[in-house]
Amino acid sequence: MADINETINDRFEDMKILDEMKTSYLNYAMSVIVSRALPDVRDGLKPSQRRILVAMNDLNLGPRGKHRKCAKIVGDTSGNYHPHGDQATYGTLVRLGQHWNMRYTLVDPQGNFGSIDADPPAAMRYTEARFASPAPDMMEDIEKDTVDFVPNYDETRKEPVVLPSKFPNLLVNGASGIAVGMATNIAPHNLNEVCDALLLMIDNPDCTFKDILEVLPGPDFPTGGIICGRKGILDAYVHGRGHLKVRAKHHIEESKRGKISIIFTEIPYMVVKATIVSKIADCVREGTIPEISDVRDESDRKGMRIVVEVRKDADENVVLNKLYRYTPLQNTFAINNVALVNSRPETLNIKQMLKLYIEHRLIVIRRRTRYLLKKARNRAHILEGLILAVSDIDEIIELIKKSPDAPTAKINLMEKPLKLVESETLRRLLPESFVSERHGKEQFLTGPQADAILTMQLQRLTGLEIEKLAKEYGDLTEKIEGYEALLSNKDMQFDVVREDIHEIKGKYGDDRRTNISEEDLTGFDLEDLITEEEVLVMISHQGYMKRMPIDTYRKQARGGRGIIGSSTKEDDFIEHLFTASTHDYLLVFTTGGICYWLKVYNIPAMSRQSKGRNIANLLDLGDDSIASILNVREFDDQRQLLMATRNGIVKKTVLSAYGNPRSNGVKAVRLDEGDWVIGVDVTSGENEIILGTEKGMTIRFHEADARSMGRVSRGVKGISLAKDDAVVGMVIVEEGASLLTACENGYGKRTALEEYRVQSRGGKGIINIKGLDRNGKVIAIKAVQDEDDIMMITAQGMIIRTGLEEVRVIGRSTSGVRMINLKKDDKLVAVERLSLEEEEEAAESAQNGEESSSEAEGSAEPDENAEE
């Protein structure tokens, strides 16, 4: 019993469970990494792919041969080399023949091998396959001891560790796989470009990544598409990892009826076409892309064609950008160049991948040359014996006849001294060194030579056959010298690699399918999804904001009642009105001297009757109200921002000082106690400025009188104000413009700017308008052109739009005319200029249908005191 316990104990070993789990897991992980998931850097194949090709090579399924059932191929692969499930093996075989997955397929399929819509292939009993053209080049010279062989899983046969791979499979077809703790995703490339890069590496091993990029600009996907930007390519080539933005390729078609359609003919790599169509339909159904009226898949055997019809009132460029953003028509391809190098996984840059392939081909060429050299030497050795025997053939025949059996004959042949007989034919055909070394000297045969003589046919004794032996030996001698020279000269080995590369390039090279765009999408901007158009922006006194199409309001005659421009509360009224492009920046200046940034497209688009959304939902203004809003696209050092305060202070600052948007705003000016900002505008640095006050005074001065200051400085005095007076407006003088002055009781006038002489900054100014008892306080001054329209807003939310041809130009020191009929207890609170240039695009889109020249409800009455 004790002996049994000792025997059992000998079979167990005490060890920590943590160590055992760690060891077992590492063994499992390395098995997956090496034996399943990662490709070898030399041939670019994973074990399952390599074994399928070896099994097909065993079956002689060449490109010109017959197709064989895939079930036979899978059976031989599983039975001889790859003892795993037949479905997994069949899936690998199918992928090797799918042209949308492989840039250059290695298997030529027959039957249903699936589709780019992710349709499954037919069962293996229905499909057939054979080698595609590049596959034999992967196998070339495998029988010439070019690669190592190891026993298969049951040690019944040998399988190659790697293929000779005359075809650079890893770079041209790429690879993908998920191992334990790591993954690989190598992009496919164009064969011509890969061959050029290999030749560059051979000729200049110290070439830079920039040199490689000139001949190998980037991946070339089987499905085409467009790679946006080169940063991801450079990262992948230099570091082995990078992210590519790949877009579908498209063009625009317009039908005879004017219907616009976006046609996609190529899609990103490894994206299922059916998924794209389904996702587009989902976006339309969910309202994400409402501009699409229909989507169809019209693909056929001639090529891919996904049709997206755009609604008539939509911008196809905006639809396209939305498709790229919300559907797989734009996809990210993450490159991760992990491959096995000497059975160890490594992340490789492009130079390492090219170099390792070249080194593999050099090893294959050396091993092949050694194999051929050994074979040639063995054959030459046999021929030497045959030539010696033929030289003394009579004695050789007699010796064999007298021998009782073959073994004895072999021994007798090996013991008999032979001499090379002088012969003009032999001397002419054989190398001089061979004849001189053996002529007149005794030679003894070796065992292989004796065997060859015994098996030699009698026909070899004829004169013609003797010449053939001599010629064959002479040719072999030259080959041997060539093999020896090749093995001793590395430059010659590189020449062979070059020849192979040129051969492969000539056989399989084709044009690039994937375009590379210089457009970098790493910072994809939301504004690409927004149609650029001119809009009208309204802000009420209580801070409600909205945008509307600029053609919402029809033109009316001066003095009309207008239409409702906004639904406001009883104690609210429209205070700010301006036009801008949806892609413009809004610089929002508050009365407290703070500057905020806002994109116009972030302002909610609402109907004419809606009151809008409170600006507090868009900007954190605190207790301040808005003084000015400017629409700006670029922040440069040439233009200036000029601001004026209610107390007559002006401050000028370069525009670029406001070019760094911050969510919480920045301080724009330092204000005195009780003062606030009344206006801000952009100037060229050479403009003249007009300030207007509530009591009808104005001053005109050159902006050079106000030096440029820092962003948070106080400024200088622009006008000296009388008691209880305040600045209400600031105007930049324009050539050919006139000055529009509007008062709170609905009166106003236009005056030529020439009537306002230039003064020095800081003076009291001159009279601008009289009759303030009737007119009320001045609420705004504007520089306008004859062809402009103006928009007038009252405290009760009434809006009227009128052309300035209705307001004639009169003298500076006059009382003005009625511009708008006000309801009882209503006041005019704002006037905004609408220039002709700003209206042109809106007028075209409206097709003259939105604007009608209708007469207003009220008519303009002449004013007896229009001029004094």
Query: What does the block give as tokens for 324?
Result: 């790229």
Cβ atoms 211, 233 nearer than 8 A: no
d(CA 251, CA 715): 55
Q: Is 152 helix (H, G, I), strand (E, B) or coil?
A: coil
* Gap between the terminal Cα atoms of the chain: 137
Beta strands in 529-606 (DSSP E): 534-540, 544-549, 563-564, 574-581, 585-590, 594-599
Cβ atoms 726, 672 nearer than 8 A: no
CA distance readout (Å), 199 to 339, 495, 545: 22, 10, 64
Q: Is 77 helix (H, G, I), strand (E, B) or coil?
A: helix
**Alpha-carbon dihedral sign for residues 797, 800, 804, 810:** negative
Beta strands in 703-746 (DSSP E): 716-717, 727-732, 738-743
Cβ atoms 87, 107 nearer than 8 A: no
Q: Are strands 649-654 and 640-645 parallel, antiparallel or unpaired?
A: antiparallel
Torsion of CA 142, 145, 147, 151, to 10 degrees: 90
Around 102, how many Cα atoms within 13 Å sit in the side-chain half-sphere? 22
Residues 227-240, buried b or exposed e (16+ Cβ, 10 A)? bbbbebbbbbbeeb
Residue 126 annotated among the catalytic residues of the structure:
yes
d(CA 612, CA 598): 16
Residues 6+ apart with CB under 8 A from 75: 86
d(CA 758, CA 704): 12
Maximal C-alpha separation, the chain: 155
Residue from 274, 225, 2, 232 nearest 115 by CA: 274
Query: Cα 484 to the chain's mean position, in Å?
Result: 50
Phi, psi (5° rounding) for residue 323?
-60, -45
Beta strands in 461-525 (DSSP E): 515-517
User: Which of the following is catalytic: 90, 126, 237, 508?
Assistant: 126
Catalytically active residues, by annotation: 126
